[in-house]
Chain A
């Protein structure tokens, strides 16, 4: 957005503004422009469709997925990509053996298949907490394989902050 677009509205040509007033109006224009900007730069992404990750496509092998029940908690903005907290779970899965496995995929990491958690038949609670590496801002996909064959997915997007100071220690 260009702040200059706002100036003619506030300062019509018929009444020439004094230099001081011009500065003030300019500042007001800039402020108005700043208010139009979102707090965090947004990348338009659809979290209801799967990102193109060949390893994910290979794993799914054309099987249908449902965007439901899978829980994937990860910060919207990560302070450091080297260690990002993550929580996984499957809503409503309480019976022993209800979930066979949870798979985690990364859109940007050099190794896209980040993790697979295999549960034996005895497990009845499928909540996992861990910390992952993310090579830059990207989407992360969790897929749960249920005992009845259903595939539940959740997509999350993480903005990875970069360190302010270079560190060569």
Chain B
């Protein structure tokens, strides 16, 4: 289950820049921490996050343990057609995640 929240402005006009926000629930485990009994906790960070707007790549981020746990990302896109903003990401466990949100463009 992908645990993420996406925020897109409700009123967007064609051709204008609009801000997209995503918050992902992920420990971004650095690999440098130990548990209660001193055993190292294996690294598990998100490797790559890709955002697509109606199927076309709109932003790609190479991530690392340099991102805070439960990463937050805000960026801008140019409004084209109504449709969807989708995100895909993977982490060190090889798990793939996806989350999407509808986008409505006026005009």
Residues of chain A whose beta carbon lies under 8 Å from any beta carbon of chain B:
82-84, 96, 104, 106, 109-111, 113-120, 122-133
In the complex, how many angstroms separate the beta carbon of A130 from the nearest chain B beta carbon?
Answer: 5
Given contacts A118-B60, A119-B59, A122-B58, contact A130 B76 (CB under 8 A): no
- In the bound complex, residues from chain B placing their C-beta under 8 Å from that of A125 are 17, 76, 78
Q: Which of B32, B66, B69, B78 contacts A122 (CB 8 A)?
A: B78
Q: What separation, in Å, do the CA atoms of A125 and B77 have in the docked complex? A: 7
User: In the assembled complex, which residues on chain A have CB atoms less than 8 Å from the CB atom of B66?
Assistant: 104, 106, 109, 111, 113-115, 132-133
Which residues of B from 11 to 35 have beta carbons under 8 Å from A?
17, 28, 30, 32
Contact of A127 among B60, B62, B71, B76 (CB under 8 A): B76
> What class of interface size applies to chain B in its complex with A?
20 to 34
Partner of B59, one of A83, A106, A117: A117
Majority SS of interface residues in chain B?
A: strand
Jot down 9 A-B pairs with beta carbons below 8 A, ordered by A: A82-B68, A110-B30, A114-B66, A116-B61, A125-B76, A128-B75, A129-B73, A130-B72, A131-B68
Query: CB distance B65 to A131 under 8 Å?
Result: no
A83 — which chain B residues lie within 8 A by C-beta?
68-69
The CA-CA distance from A162 to B69 in the complex, in Å, is: 18
B77 lies within 8 A of A132 (CB): no
In the complex, the answer to whether A133 meets B62 with C-beta atoms within 8 Å is no
A130 with B67, Cβ < 8 A, contacts A122-B58, A125-B76 known: yes
**Cβ-defined contact, B67 with A124, below 8 A:** no
Instruction: State the CA gap A129–B59 with chains docked (Å).
Output: 13
CB pair B73–A128 under 8 Å, yes or no, is yes
B4 at the A interface (CB under 8 A): no
Judge whether B93 is part of the interface by a CB distance below 8 angstroms. no
B64 at the interface (CB under 8 A from A): yes
